[in-house]
Amino acid sequence: MILVAGYLRVTDREKYLGSCREVVELARATEGCLDFSLGADLVEPDRVNVYERWSTRTALDRFRGAGTEGELDAQILGAEVREFDYTDETRL
């Protein structure tokens, strides 16, 4: 499985998140997506937290394609996002 986690810095968080609803819905409907979430940080007003969980690299790559573009891309000032491969998990 692949985890994607980190954060984005954006120009207008509310506008950015409002523009991302369709992206989240599409991701969650994609075969191999186990979870996909973008959310407002509770402390920093320009920060959007990113969390994704995918069953395989192929599923992630199929969804991701070339990444963001246009208006969404223009709103991102910076990013600190990482991918993690893992094979073991424990339900809490």
pLDDT at 67: 55
Residue partners of 39: CB distance under 8 A and separation at least 6:
17, 48, 49, 51
pLDDT at 84: 95
Are 19 and 72 in contact by the 8 Å Cβ rule? The answer is yes
pTM of the model: 0.88
Which domains are seen in the chain, by residue range? 2-85 (3.30.70.100)
How far is it, in rounded angstroms, from Cα 32 to Cα 45? Answer: 32
Structure tokens of 86? 């893992």
Kindly report the average pLDDT of the chain as a whole number.
92
